[in-house]
Structure 1
Amino acid sequence: MTSDQPRPGFVTAAFWCWAAAAVMLMVGGLLTASVNLPTVFRAAGVLTAVVGAAMAFLAGRSRNGDNRFRRAAVALAVVTSAWIGLSAALGVVHLITLLAILPLIAGAVLMTRRGRPVQEEAQ
């Protein structure tokens, strides 16, 4: 079933930002998990990869217009950005994972924008 109104362009842009961030999180997390580090840091890499998969799932569902998934995706993006930023101080975050903060924040900002009201046509 299709909606009467087209999807706003910023929703599509937010989806692609989150999709890129999800791929970056998964790749960076798996790279961190595969190197010879202590178990705690390897577990953090696996957790980062799982968060990337969850972000991809939530981004797909929020693109379809479900507000619950949209709010969950924004919350996950903000928490993930804060967590990666704090763990970067320890120096155990891969560079790809650190760069994923930028599209995460951009997607969260774009997804929380309000759409323009539909203007009535002049008669």
Structure 2
Amino acid sequence: MSPTPRPRAVDIAFWLLVVGAVLLVVNGLMAATLNFDTARSVADSSVSDEKLQNYLTFQRGLGIFSVVIGAVLGFLAGKTRTGDPRFRRATIAFAVAVMVLVVAVAILLKIIHLLALVAVLPIVFGALSLTRPGVAAWFAEDPRPVDG
């Protein structure tokens, strides 16, 4: 008996999560490469150089963190596509954590880029697609090939 073919919702979830992960990585790379001269040209003249440097350091740190979480989300999405139910649960949990973190940073610190907020949309729909009943049933069947 051949294993049940992968539901289309799993492929859709995979691609949505990959799009969200790529957007997070691009956002992080843009934030990590901010330079002082550009920031000084758009900052208010009353902002001291020290405060601006601290702001840039924090932005770069958030950018590197965004690259890391984007890469981890992409990795988890790829492993989920293979049919491992553990990775499905981990992907859903990590996607929810990323969504909460990005929105919380945007609301509380007010220093997130628009691209990171846009990345939340495909992540939301990708995670929701992994919770559909047909997808859950497919993962419960354990469609991974058995060795030996």
Q: TM-score, normalised by structure 1?
A: 0.87
Deviations 1:24-76 (A, max 9, x none): 00000111111144322211110011000001100000001011111111111
Q: Which has the larger radius of gyration?
A: 2
Q: 2:129 aligns with which of 102, 110, 120?
A: 110
Helix, strand or coil at the partner of 1:46: helix
Paired positions, count: 115
State the AA in 2 paired with 1:16: W
4+ aligned runs moved over 3 Å, structure 1: none
Name the structure, 1 or 2, with higher relative contact order (CA <8 Å, separation 6+): 2
Q: Distance in 1 between matches of 2:80 and 2:127?
A: 11
Q: Which residue of 2 aligns with 1:54?
A: 72
AA at the equivalent of 2:122: P
More helix by share: 2
Q: Which consecutive unaligned segments of at least 5 residues does structure 2 have?
A: 36-54, 138-148
Give the C-alpha shift of residue 6 in structure 1: 0.7
What are the residue-to-residue correspondences of 1:71-90 with 2, within 5 Å? 71-89=89-107, 90=109
Give the alignment's TM-score, normalised by structure 2. Answer: 0.73
Which string of whole-angstrom CA distances, capped at 9 and with x for unpartnered residues, describes residues 65-106 of structure 1? 011111111111101101100111223211111100001110
Structure 1 unaligned spans of 5+ = 118-123
Deviation at 1:114, TM superposition (A): 1.3
Decide whether the 8 Å contact of 1:8 with 1:115 is kept in 2.
yes
1:97 aligns with 2:129: no
Per the alignment, residue 6 of structure 1 pairs with: 5
Q: What is the aligned-residue identity percentage?
A: 43
